[in-house]
Amino acid sequence: EVQLVESGGGLVQPGGSLRLSCAASGFTVSSNYMSWVRQAPGKGLEWVSVIYSGGSTYYADSVKGRFTISRDNSKNTLYLQMNSLRAEDTAVYYCARLSAAGRPTPTGTSYYFDYWGQGTLVTVSS
Amino acid sequence: SYVLTQPPSVSVAPGQTARITCGGNNIGSKSVHWYQQKPGQAPVLVVYDDSDRPSGIPERFSGSNSGNTATLTISRVEAGDEADYYCQVWDSSSDQGVFGGGTKLTVL
């Protein structure tokens, strides 16, 4: 059974740092595309970052240069290092596994989030 | 960056059909995926690849995608379908996920 369990959330002051973890079971993190998605209180879903199985990483413009996605293959765990945190980073952070859509499209391969963790709340406030 | 537009809310009576739209420039050329999120819970995939359903999702949930609009259709709506629904695409040109703003489905 596929499971994703996030941890590491909490209260942090503006400008501070936090590292989120996402422990996976039932599949191998390093063989899959993995993402972080966040949701500010009362707001919609916002994609944050992705790490491909080959190790390439990409970020939303809102977090580029401040957040770093990584993984520990020996622990089968995904991470999100968050630095220079701002009030607008306050959100529930979800880790999710990506799967490739089967339908070929002119715009390239599409991916969707097939498994999600339960989320961990990050609050940035003084 | 690619933008997806959803209506903020849709209301429907039990037993009727709900249609939730997702607009985007030439979205018909992309694969669209849909998620259901109930309060305090993580999102759940209900439709992927425009119209496919994951195992365990009722046949009442279906999707279509053409031109500039993708649509999630929920037939014979039940009280338990009340939730927020999000469409999503993958922008391969920038390697980024894109979500619509979400639609709150209210069952009257």
Interval B37-75: pLDDT, tens: 999 999 999 999 999 999 999 999 999 999 999 999 999
Distance of CA B66 to the CA centre of its chain: 14
Cβ-based neighbour number of residue B46 at 10 Å: 24
Asked if residue A94 has pLDDT above 80, the reply is yes
Q: Which residue of B has its CA nearest to A35?
A: B97
Q: Is the pLDDT of residue B88 over 80?
A: yes
Q: Using CA atoms, how far apart are residues A34 and B67, in angstroms rounded to an integer?
A: 30
Average pLDDT of span B72-95: 96
User: Average pLDDT of A57-84?
Assistant: 97
User: How confident is the model at residue B76, as a pLDDT?
Assistant: 97
**Could you give the CA distance from residue A110 to residue B33 in angstroms, rounded to a whole number?**
9
Band (A13; pLDDT cuts 50, 70, 90): very high
SS (H, E, C) chain B: CCCCECCCEEEECCCCCEEEEEECCCHHHCCCEEEEECCCCCCEEEEECCCECCCCCCCCEEEEEECCEEEEEECCCCHHHCEEEEEEEEECCCCEEEECCCEEEEEC
Q: How far apart are CA B81 and CA B69, in angstroms?
A: 22
Name the nearest CA neighbour of A96 among A75, A74, A113: A113
Shortest CA gap A34–chain B (Å): 11
The verdict on B48 touching A (C-beta cutoff 8 Å) is yes
CB–CB contact A110 B99 (8 Å): no
How close does chain B come to A57, measured CA to CA in Å?
9
Region of B56 on the Ramachandran plot (φ > 0 left; ψ -120 to 50 alpha; else beta):
left
pLDDT of residue B49: 95
Contacts 24+ apart (CB under 8 A), A101-106: A101/B31, A101/B33, A101/B48, A101/B49, A101/B90, A102/B49, A102/B52, A103/B31, A103/B49, A103/B50, A105/B29, A105/B30, A105/B31, A106/B29
Contact assignment for A45 to B35 by CB distance below 8 Å: yes
Please state, in angstroms and as integers, the Cα–Cα distance from residue B67 to each residue in A105, B25, B99, following that order.
Answer: 13, 8, 18
Cα three-residue angle B60-B79-A42, rounded to 5 degrees: 100
Partners of residue A106 in chain B, C-beta under 8 Å: 29
Burial zone of B74 (CB within 10 Å; 0-12 exposed, 13-18 middle, 19+ buried): buried
A23 pLDDT tier (thresholds 50, 70, 90): very high
Residues of A with CB under 8 A from a CB of B: 35, 37, 44-47, 50, 56, 58, 60-61, 94, 99, 101-103, 105-114, 116-119
Q: What is the mean pLDDT of residues A74-97?
A: 98
What percentage of chain B exceeds 90 in pLDDT?
A: 97
Percent of chain A residues topping a pLDDT of 70 = 100
Using CA coordinates, name the residue in chain A closest to B45.
A114
What does the alpha-carbon distance between residue B5 and residue B14 come to, in Å, rounded to a whole number? Answer: 26
Q: Which residues pair with B68 in a beta bridge?
A: none
Mean pLDDT over B77-93 rounds to 96
pLDDT for residue B1: 87
